[in-house]
Structure 1
Amino acid sequence: MNPPINAASLNQPFTGWDELRTSGPAWKIERPQATVDSYVPFFPDQNGKVYELLLANLPVMLHCMDGAGRLTSVNKRWAQSLGYSETEAVGRAFNEFLAPDSRARLVQHIYPAYFQSGICRDEILTVTRKDGSMAKVVLSMNAYRGDKGRIERSVCLLDEPLNVSQAVTVVEDQRFKGAFESAAHGMALVSPLGEITLANGAFWEFLEGTEQERAASVEDILHKDDVASFLTSVGELIKSKSPSIKQELRYVTAKGRLMHGATSVALVRNDAGEVEQIILQIVDVTDKKQATQRLQHAQKMEAIGQLTGGLAHDFNNLLTVIIGNLQLLENKLGTDEKGQRRLAEAIDAARKGSDLTRQMLAFARKQVLEPREVNINDLVKGIAPLISRSIGEAIQFKADAMAGEPKALIDPSQLESSILNLAINARDAMPKGGLLTIETQPIYLDKAYAAKYPEVTPGH
């Protein structure tokens, strides 16, 4: 483990190099401090002068360090860029030429990793020039280890301040890419022509598209009725000074599903003010939209139920009066068979109307539950006309009753209401028409099933 570094000493020449460099038992060695007088060429072989001349005149900032982290040589570009002469630079620790924050990062993070790997690449630091001004540089280092594995020399390259903007852009691009890809919501870049040039995983997940199914343009993913609205909004955004707009749009996935997305649209302009890219951000609100629609439907049905209940109640009162008067008339007619027959038909029609109001009251849940033994076949047969009227002429209705007289202990109005609701749902599922069949069959509920539902008794 590397020894702790005292942060309070960061403004002093770095003295922790030996501790880091000699962290193994074989790395303990005494070494004289590097000075101008004790300068040792980096390439001591017979061709060293040629290489030294080459490095000294490279058009990039370059310096060499000894095993103590002190400069042993700097090239002309290094001296010119930072304003120091070679005599002023050689013998000083490299961290002395850094701003405090960069000095701390070099000592606490970069050096420890460098002593393990012997390589450092593309670390952005701030150097302090002799005149006190600062500049960004990109540091890269390579180590030369001796026979015992010790780092004896290092060659360090500093990218020129003029080139750092590109390096910073690359780093920022990498960070943007990471944030872009890991975003929870769908994001995409769109050209002014509407072509999708880049999109993250959440975007394609929202659209349920595989690599082969990915759309080429916004028009391919939008619902056809929303394309014009989107184009109009983008046009208004281009003319306005607003940074972005938001609207809810419908999208069609690769599987044909309709999705709802809260869409934010922003523009990327060049220096001339021309639109270069359109940024889309989509938040999936499909579930929320469907929940809202279900709530609205439930509220509508509740309102219909209240209206139906009120009308049915008033209409039932009228029918009660009509039936009562018809019965009185029937008693007074005596033996007039023709009159009796007509009155019987009128009374029968009034009672059917009363049954209808009872069904309407049950639908509106205004009627008290009255469970009794009911013949299911007869109940389905009796409600068949109401079902036929409710589902419309485009759907054929068929009642398939089982043999015998199946009976159940149930409130007939509630069962009729349930069957009617099923029929209405079936109608909505067949907008182009079809066949609706209602079958009655016996089912045995065992003890295991009854144990899950306390109100259920085992049996048929």
Structure 2
Amino acid sequence: MTDNTKTAATEEMRFRLLIDAVVDYAIYMIDPTGIINSWNSGAKRFKGYEEAEIIGEHFSRFYTDEDRAAGLPQRALDTAIREGRFEGEGWRVRKDGTHFWCHVVIDPIFSPSGQLLGFAKITRDLTDRKMAEETLKQSEQQFSLLVQGVTDYAIYMLSPEGRVTNWNPGAQRIKGYTPEEVIGQHFSMFYTPEDREAGEPQRALETAVREGRFENKSWRMRKDGTRFMAHVVVDAIRGETGALLGFAKITRDVTEATQAQLALEKTREALFQAQKMQAIGQLSGGIAHDFNNLLTVILGNLEILGKRVGDDPKVSRLLENATQGALRGVSLTQRMLAFARRQELKTEPVNITQLVQGITGLLRSSLGPGITIETRFAEDLEAVLADTNQLELALLNLATNARDAMPEGGGVIISAQPEVVLEQAHSPVAAGRYVCLSLTDTGEGMDEATLASAMDPFFTTKGLGKGTGLGLSMVHGFIEQLGGRFILKSEKGHGTTAELWLPVADHRAQARTENTTADSTCVPRLSVLVVDDDSLVLTSTTLLLEDLGHRVVSAVSGAQALALFDEGEVIDLMITDMAMPQMSGAQLAHAVRLLKPDLPIILATGYAERLEGFAAELPRLPKPFTQLNLAAIIAQSMK
């Protein structure tokens, strides 16, 4: 053997050792007919055949039955001959019958003379990669199905420039566009014109790029031009290198939820306002009650003093001035009681049209020549249940406020129309039949903050000394006490409308009147029991009664009064305060009625109170009262 022959043999042995050492690739030779004539360790490892088992076999045995039936093995060899190489991927079969995915390269081997000697075949097991790809593909398909199945969310992708690249059914349902209409368009088309002008779309993308995510809630536009409140999330999508690939955008229509939240907040605000007004009303009513006690004392003593000082004009002027000051206090407490819904009301059926026509002259003089008055009344308005005097006063208050809101002049429209509120209606007014009496001015109107506080007692926008701030609160309390509702509507620069929702009078409603014209001179001398826990009021009332010629027996509590009856005290009439500790005037009246069923009883009160049973029918003496009021109600009670 020559040295060259030895060298070639050595090189061939090294090459075979190298091939056999490769375990990650199946490397083997096949003859021109496809018969295997070599086999390396890699082929043995992932195909499962020993060299002795496979040499001399046809390579097609590695193919699946389907591929063999389709002639794929021979086509692979033909392609290798024709094109110089065959390369592809597909399923193959191991010795144990399991399948694996492989990458195959077949190269034809030719002699120097061009004769086909066979084929070199290299196979690589790519099953793990294939399975990963299949898993990823399946995941992508499932994700796509999930996204396409979502109809409550608009889910779509944007290019880095903000153009829509895909579109799910949820987006079509919420925004109204089909995929053909929107893909390729810039997503800013969904923004309102004012948000586009303010640069909101670009700010959203810049925030997502900078922070990784943008999230907010704002108005968006549908295809038909309508707006909806949207909760929007924009996520920046980046590749493995950090390059921006685009954005994932999720939009949810939260219009209904937002409206529900606003309605809830409005309801909470209304509840808070009602609770606030109730608390202030209780405070105002309590203060007014105490003031009425003081004013009862002051006016009673001034009245008696006026009878005893003689005719000195200087003293008379001082008494008159003091009396007028006390009467101004009475007016103030009446307003506070009106707000607290604790004033004495003389309700009766009232014809709104006639009432307004009756005070039109007074309204014109109050408003002045620079303000016009227009009335608009529906035909055949039903009568409402109201206190005529208080309703007239309420209209005058509203007219005065309208005048002050129109210093340069303007117009006032007074209108009335019937209204029916159903049980299921979402209305601030309780279900029932009403007449809505409204006064609308063309004044400067109120902003939201002023409107929210307008009915609060002592709140005023007028200068110091130009208003008590009790006008609107008095109207509010008066209407509420009637079972109606006072509603203010105003906008800055667009005037104010005040609505008085007055309940329609039942056909059986009767006016409650008090006989204040009874002749007190026909009342004989009486033995009067006066009960009041306030010693000043007790003393003042006693002096007024004694001045009328009556004998007075006094008690500072219900228990003391009952003790007098037990002692056999002769009593012709009892006057008792309503608000007393331990035993109220109504409770005392009930106990006395059991002892003396025919005894006349008068309830004195600083504010209207809800009474039940026989006590509700007893005559009431509102505080503060004059000697004339006292004499009149005694005459009425002794009939």
Place the TM-score, normalised by the shorter chain, in its bin: 0.3 to 0.5
If the length of structure 2 is used for normalisation, what is the TM-score?
0.36
